[in-house]
Amino acid sequence: MNSATAPLMDNAANQDWWRGATIYQIYPRSYQDSNGDGIGDLAGIVQRMPYIASLGVDAIWISPFFVSPMKDFGYDVSDYCDVDPMFGTLADFDAVVDAAHRQGIRVMIDLVLSHTSVQHAWFGESCRDKTNSKADWYVWADPKPDGTPPTNWLSIFGGSAWQWDGRREQYYLHNFLASQPDLNFHNEEVQDALLDVATFWLNRGVDGFRLDTINFYFHDAELRDNPALPIEQRNASIAPSVNPYNHQEHLFDKNRPENLAFLRRLRSVMEPFGAAAVGEVGDAQFGLEILGQYTAGDELMQMCYAFEFLARDQPTALRIVNVLSRVDEVAADGWACWAFSNHDVQRHATRWNLTPAAQRMFATLIMCLRGSVCLYQGEELGLPEADVSFDDLRDPYGIEFWPEFRGRDGCRTPMVWKPSNQNGGFSDGQPWLPVASEHLALSVAAQEDDPSAILHHYRKAIRFRQAHPALVVGEHSDLKADGDVVSFSRHLGDQTILCAFNVSNTPSDFDLPNGDWQSIGSELGSANMSDDGMMHLGPWQVCLRLKR
């Protein structure tokens, strides 16, 4: 680690820095282009670090920037320990860490451990024959007697999860693109190599990791078929409804119990650095249960997020209470990380068809939930999903299932910094994805000059959370859904905060519990007490009270 930054981020002395943190996700291809090639880069992140600091976030999560053929835009890694030239150099990455640490912001990077690119040197050796030193580093299997794949497992990106390779006359497993072969975690040498990757970046000063598809690391060693999932249980929150991936109960291609031992090994590597990890639990059937398993105690991962609030439908008051209650049940000894948007799902402003008032309410809500928080770049601007034409589409997922599923490019279009040109201040060149014209009016520069803009609301909500320790690390209780109003209390020591939210576009009444309550959160639109002793919440209004 750069000695100039080390004193600012003493993670070893503050092992719980991640608990209740607000983490800002940066998709580097689309954040800021510094050299005019139309692709965002690490130097662009450095350029925008003052803006990131102005949000008040505790950490950034940077999506993959490793060397890659970019078939899945960096989630297909061909060299874990170097920066792809389109994003810059290792020195540029060091500059990001230095700039962030000087602002008091921690840096988390996206580690894609479950699979590599076919262009990774490991796979190049593994596929040569069945006897080389890395022959067992990937998941290889013989065909069935009729030549068909070894199991019925399906790829999230469509079709079989098995790809034939004529050199070995075997199939290899790929849970995603055929160019993303799965590593064989049953081989301890593979685990060792991946732990060395984590150590490499920890030594460069990173403060933690976002672990892509954390529940996909292990496969069933017996290669058993997945059972069919009854139609009434199918859930399209992980894969689009047009994808037959939803037709299986994924018991054997992921979610394997052997993963826990590897996560303990990874935690032991991270522990001396005081680093933290947030795991992505990609599962529509057992997501919260896996979250609880993977974050239990002090030997596994610190945080995980599931897809309950990344789902298609806007959460109702009852849905919110059910999710939070379920987390209490299955993850009582763990820690959740909440997100409404990210680089893999339609932006929630569009997904839930939210008005500006509704967006503000949900921004306040997520800052009051027990757990840590991930915000996705542009969320703080209230950006809607961009409409990307098929001719401009880059995402292989969307190309495969177009037009029923339009892919992920609509949430990955460039960040808009100013309204003064067609590229929104993102690049002086032709952007890799077009800048949405409707985004220009929502640019950072346009909102900075408007005190009522949602950007300022996000800043206020983040500050509000950080000003109240009960919201950051406290417990919650009294979870209730009363019609369209969801309410709960957050408490730590002698601080108790009542939080109530009208999650609808119609007025709702809320009966304030007995006690001596002080009104707080006026800057977030918190409702005032009426003469009749009831809280009359307008559409999308919140009520925040501090117990005296």
Q: Which residues are catalytic?
A: 212, 280
The encoded tokens of residue 547 equal 């117990």
Residues in the chain: 548
What distance in Å separates the CA atoms of residue 70 and residue 450, rounded to the nearest whole number?
Answer: 38
The candidate with the shortest Cα–Cα distance to 246, out of 330, 320, 329, 307, is 307
Bridge partner residues of 477 (DSSP) = 489
CB 71 within 8 A of CB 396: yes
The candidate with the shortest Cα–Cα distance to 194, out of 81, 68, 274, 108, is 81
CB atoms within 10 A of CB 328: 15
The candidate with the shortest Cα–Cα distance to 342, out of 244, 237, 259, 267, is 237
What distance in Å separates the CA atoms of residue 445 and residue 480, rounded to the nearest whole number?
Answer: 40
Bridge partner residues of 165 (DSSP) = 170
User: What is the chain's percent helix, strand, coil content, to nearest 5?
Assistant: 30, 20, 50
The helix (H) or strand (E) run that includes residue 108 is strand 106-111
CB 37 within 8 A of CB 87: no
What distance in Å separates the CA atoms of residue 257 and residue 262, rounded to the nearest whole number?
Answer: 10
CB 370 within 8 A of CB 324: yes
What distance in Å separates the CA atoms of residue 64 and residue 79, rounded to the nearest whole number?
Answer: 11
DSSP 66-101: EE---TTTTSS-SEEEEE-TTT--HHHHHHHHHHHH
Bridge partner residues of 304 (DSSP) = 279, 336
Query: Cα dihedral sign for 175, 176, 177, 180?
Result: negative
Query: Phi, psi at residue 83, to the nearest 5°?
Result: -95, 135
What distance in Å separates the CA atoms of residue 5 and residue 154, rounded to the nearest whole number?
Answer: 45
As a dihedral over the C-alpha atoms of residue 529, residue 370, residue 15, residue 276, rounded to 10 degrees, the angle is: -140
CA distances from 332 to 64, 306, 324, 491 (A): 31, 15, 11, 16
Angle made by CA atoms 39, 40, 45, in degrees to the nearest 5: 170
